[in-house]
Amino acid sequence: MAKISKNTSIETESNLSAHSYEELAALHSISLILASPADLRDQLEQVLKEMNLRLGMQRGMISLVDREKKEVWLDVAHDVNINGLEVIYKSGEGITGKVAETGRPMAVANLGQETHFLDRTGARRHLNRTELAFLCVPIIYDSNVVGVLSADKVALQVENLDKELELLSSVAGLMAKPVHVRVLEEENRRLRKIVGQNRTPSMDIIGHSKVMQEVYGLVAQVADSNTTVLITGETGTGKELIARAIHNNSSRRESPLIQVNCAAIPDTLIESELFGHEKGAFTGALHQRRGRFEEANGGTIFLDEVGELSAAAQVKLLRILQEKHFQPLGSSRVVSVNVRVIAATNRNLEQDILSGRFRADLFYRLNVFPIYLPPLRDRGSDIILLADHFVLKYGQEMKKGVKRISTPAVESFLSYTWPGNVRELENCIERAVLLTKTDTIDCAHLPPSLQVREGELAKKERSKLSFVVEAQERTLIIDALEETGGNQTKAAKLLGTTKRVIQYKISKMGINVKLFRKKKQESS
């Protein structure tokens, strides 16, 4: 599918200057619909309805682009019955497929003479196509075609096809971000359906982004072996889940997986904790105790936060990795173990080696097969997938019928950096489920850090949108007042609206009508 240059947004803004007052008013109304807290699909349906009522565009349709499969599927329609239909276009197939592939708008002055028009919905089967024009434009977000917007218009009402395409492109520009979010929602819905059928129960990990697919590939490669694995990544990314997935997909799955939090063990107890001790080996050793390595014999030991081990503890760990046997504290017996080692850390161990904080020889023993777990902010649509999972989890735990996350809240999730990663997202959803009194999680239920971010983004989006629309609106009103010498009734007639609307806009924008009257008097 097409990748679009950064100049596209500039072109969209310049297109607005070519619109009439009524067209700008329609665009402003559409922007208000998209800024409302309604369900995303409902918002898009309302936009298509507004296009029909105010712009004369019939049978509006919004199709979503699947860039990986290189296909386009019809998602939302107005005045077209798509219940039970699954309308899909391959890249380049029909007008919709061509627009998705090229990223360029297309217009047909006479549908009756267009051979590439497929009409897969059958909506025009009983209509006289020669009386209809067809308009189709790409919906572009972040330089990528994420969807296609199309509509019919009575051919006799179309004076200039290029101008009609500019208007439709302006509508597509307003809905770009909501359609992008809608694409992510639909991809996750489809993935959940596929995953529910094909997912192996041992892979208890949620996420289908490209970076996570790479992680799954590494897990599949290394799982059924005895190779030592080092999992790195920021705190809260789910390193323990990856370690568990490796163990559960290995031949050791029937044997124990023993987890050791290296950061929580004092230096004085590390040897006893890992290798065990005999009764009376030290003060307080009232009983014999098996160490974690011995408990993990035949299975896997997971050394979490291995980067937090002290220099003394690192020496002891290195010894067992090299020799594969050890002596419990206070004992003369030698214990040999068959243990698979998986370690994890959120530290940069290579940097710690340079600073003398971590032993190079231990690092090379652990870093046989490295797996990097990406932060949540780099996992794209996985954020929505995980959020939905946690909503279901905590809704059931708290016996609350929470079913969905509002569009503004989803947008806030997608734009937040998530320094605490998956753990922070889970805590956020748990709090939101607890706070909401309806079946929906909204921005008001999010922690202050996300609410502030959401507010900033909304303000930024509104200001960009409003600045373009209102600036052109102001210019049109000023031009009309200059032409009519400040006569608001004549200005309203010139702009094709009412005097009351013009008076309201003049007051809201702070336009001084007396200046135009004075200019007329001076010129006369």
DSSP characters for 95-149? HHHHHHHH---EEES-GGG-TT---TT-TTTTS-GGGEEEEEEEEEETTEEEEEE
Q: Would you say 292 and 270 are in contact if contact means Cβ atoms under 8 Å apart?
A: no
Q: Are residues 430 and 307 in the same domain?
A: no
Which CATH number fits the domain that encloses residue 83?
3.30.450.40
Q: Are residues 305 and 316 in the same domain?
A: yes
What pLDDT, on a 0 to 100 scale, did the predictor assign at position 468? 56
Q: Are residues 484 and 441 in the same domain?
A: no
Structural domain harbouring 231: 210-376
Q: Are residues 437 and 487 in the same domain?
A: no
Q: Are residues 307 and 335 in the same domain?
A: yes
Q: Are residues 344 and 477 in the same domain?
A: no
Q: Are residues 391 and 480 in the same domain?
A: no
Which CATH number fits the domain that encloses residue 490?
1.10.10.60
Residue with tokens 């218009």: 153
What pLDDT, on a 0 to 100 scale, did the predictor assign at position 469? 63
What pLDDT, on a 0 to 100 scale, did the predictor assign at position 46? 92
* Domain annotation covers residue 194: no
Residues (pLDDT < 70) of the chain are 1-19, 188-204, 280-286, 451-472, 518-524
What pLDDT, on a 0 to 100 scale, did the predictor assign at position 77? 92
What pLDDT, on a 0 to 100 scale, did the predictor assign at position 363? 93
Q: Are residues 371 and 410 in the same domain?
A: no
Count how many domains the chain has.
4
Which CATH number fits the domain that encloses residue 334?
3.40.50.300
Q: How many CA atoms lie within 13 A of 378 on its CB side?
A: 11
What pLDDT, on a 0 to 100 scale, did the predictor assign at position 428? 95
What pLDDT, on a 0 to 100 scale, did the predictor assign at position 18? 59
Q: Which of 446, 464, 485 is the last residue of a domain?
A: 446
Q: Which of 398, 419, 446 is the last residue of a domain?
A: 446
Q: Are residues 20 and 138 in the same domain?
A: yes
Q: Would you say 445 and 411 are in contact if contact means Cβ atoms under 8 Å apart?
A: no
What pLDDT, on a 0 to 100 scale, did the predictor assign at position 348? 93
What pLDDT, on a 0 to 100 scale, did the predictor assign at position 188? 67
Q: Are residues 86 and 220 in the same domain?
A: no
What pLDDT, on a 0 to 100 scale, did the predictor assign at position 235? 93
Q: Are residues 484 and 506 in the same domain?
A: yes
Q: Are residues 390 and 493 in the same domain?
A: no
* Domain annotation covers residue 200: no
What pLDDT, on a 0 to 100 scale, did the predictor assign at position 100? 93
